[in-house]
Structure 1
Amino acid sequence: MMNRFDIFSATQEPFADSRESADFLRMARDRFGVLNLSYWFLGASNDLPDRMTWLSTYDESYMAIYMREYSPLKDRAFQICFRTLLPLDWAQLRNSDESVQHIHETAEQFGVGRHGISIPIRDPGVGDAMFSINFECDDRLWEKLRQELVNSIHLFAHYYHLRMKNVLAARPVSAEFDLSPREREVLQWAAEGKTAWETAQLLGLSESAVNLYSSKAMSKLRAKTKTQAVAIAVKNAILN
């Protein structure tokens, strides 16, 4: 059974650096009585692995293999987690396709437990994060523990992300979310009320090309609609 851990009995100051945040993660793992904890900060763009931050209690050899062979760019867990915005039980993924099965099989070879939950964290203007908790038990016990873990770890995940913000701010995260000039142009015209067809005429592009640039901008800004992408871009001074 998982140990109780009052997160607010710990220091609530922002982490001074990544070493302090990693030490706190290991301490939290032991206090929760789980196998592993993991925090991913994905940055403002899902196209730039070098902008990602990964802190976890996993075996370092496994972390190196994961980044080399998979990374969030190839891991469907991230796509599904951020699509639902609800805590994701790893059991929902394990048999979804061969690539996911291979990730889980590799992880288990390095001592990563069979069961886990991943929690998406959306932070507009800062970037997305995902916090995971990993547990080892048989399937029947997992059914009993799963909800307790969700209830206990959900608040902790957001608390940990808040304490990470100073550490993340010290990293070279792009203020422009890495939009290309064309992607910014398309959003600029959308902000001025132009349709895709009108934007195509203004820029000398096809309407399908304009829609493609819009789609890429939406993806980078983690927006569900073009209107939302424009709002995020305006808020973060991406547009003129």
Structure 2
Amino acid sequence: MSESGAFLQSARDRFGVLNLSYWFLGASPELPDRMTWLSTYDESYMAIYMRDYTPLKDKAFQICFQRLLPLDWDEVRSTEQSVQDIHDVAEQYGVGRHGISIPIRDPGVGDAMFSINFECEDRHWLEVRQQLVNNIHLFAHYYHLRMKGVIAARPVTAEFDLSPREREVLRWAADGKTAWETAQLIGVSERAIRLYTENAMNKLRAKTKTQAVAIAMKNAILH
């Protein structure tokens, strides 16, 4: 997964966009722990999104998969308050105002969504949007084909889908480190550590951090 994430970052730089994001929802989007999300967004924003929203609560996903053509974020931001709320939070973490989400339907495998994020003045967006769709639409489908093989090759324990940072935080917790100590060790805020911990607990269906560590160790998630 780390290699796929690095590939996404290099593609972002090559296309000259602000962020790229890939969601794979699998054949059963009702199961949050089956979701896969790779993006170039700020990790703190990703942690907040997974804690407060997820695709199950994000209307943009429902609208996107009701169509075949790419979805302009402006189309849903003005009609759905919940989407507006998500964008307000995202912009606080460096996510640009404008974006496009491309639905990818793969019968028998699942749904995927590839998003392009860009920052420009509103008056230039229509022109920029068309260029982005032309340049990145084919790449989005190529990336999905690449990711299908990676996801299929994951071991059974990967069904919990903990991010590398969530695993790292649990490893330090297993060593007896507090949230403050872990924050100092890996160079992020204590608030971010608590968000990673909460997300890991939710994915592992644990009621406490100690229980999350125990479940992770039992399932050989922490190496």
Q: Give yes or no for TM over 0.5.
A: yes
Compute the RMSD of aligned alpha carbons. 1.1
Deviations along 1:34-75, one digit per CA (max 9) or x if unpaired, are: 000000000111211100000000000000000110000011
Distance 2:142 2:153 in 1: 19
Structure-1 residue corresponding to 2:125: 142
Q: How many residues align?
A: 156
Q: Which amino acid aligns with 1:100?
A: V
Secondary structure, counterpart of 2:77 in structure 1: coil
2: CA distance, partners of 1:84 / 1:134: 20
- Structure 1 length as normaliser, TM-score? 0.63
Equivalent runs, 1:99-138 vs 2, <5 Å: 99-138=82-121
2-structure distance, mates of 1:91, 1:104: 10
TM-score by length of 2: 0.68
* CA displacement, residues 147-194 of structure 1 (integer Å, 9 cap, x when unaligned): 111111110000001111221102468xxxxxxxxxxxxxxxxxxxxx
Residue 66 of structure 2 aligns to a residue in which SS? helix
Q: Which residue of 2 aligns with 1:211?
A: none
Alignment of 1:196-211 (within 5 A): none
Query: Aligned runs of 1:87-106 on 2, under 5 Å?
Result: 87-106=70-89
Mapped to 1, the partners of 2:94 and 2:47 lie a distance apart of 14
- Give the one of 135, 144, 153 matched to 1:170: 153
Runs of 5+ unmatched residues, structure 1: 1-17, 174-240
Shift of 1:121: 0.5
How many angstroms apart in 2 are the aligned matches of 1:23 and 1:141?
Answer: 30
Amino acid in structure 2 at the alignment position of 1:106: V
- Give the counterpart letter for 1:69 in structure 2: D
Amino acid in structure 1 at the alignment position of 2:9? R
Amino acid at match of 2:125: W
Structure 2 residue 4 is matched with structure 1 residue 54: no
2:5 corresponds to which of 22, 27, 38: 22
Cα-to-partner distance string for 1:86-127 (whole Å, 9 max, x where unaligned): 100001011212211100000000000000000000111111
Checking the alignment, whether the CA contact within 8 Å between 2:59 and 2:80 is kept in structure 1 is no
For structure 2, list consecutive stretches of 5 or more residues without a partner in the other structure: 157-223
Identity %: 79
Name the SS for the 1:119 alignment partner: strand
Greater fraction of residues in helix: 2
C-alpha distance in structure 2 between counterparts of 1:111 and 1:90, whole Å: 16
**Mapping of residues 24-39 of structure 1, within 5 Å:** 24-39=7-22
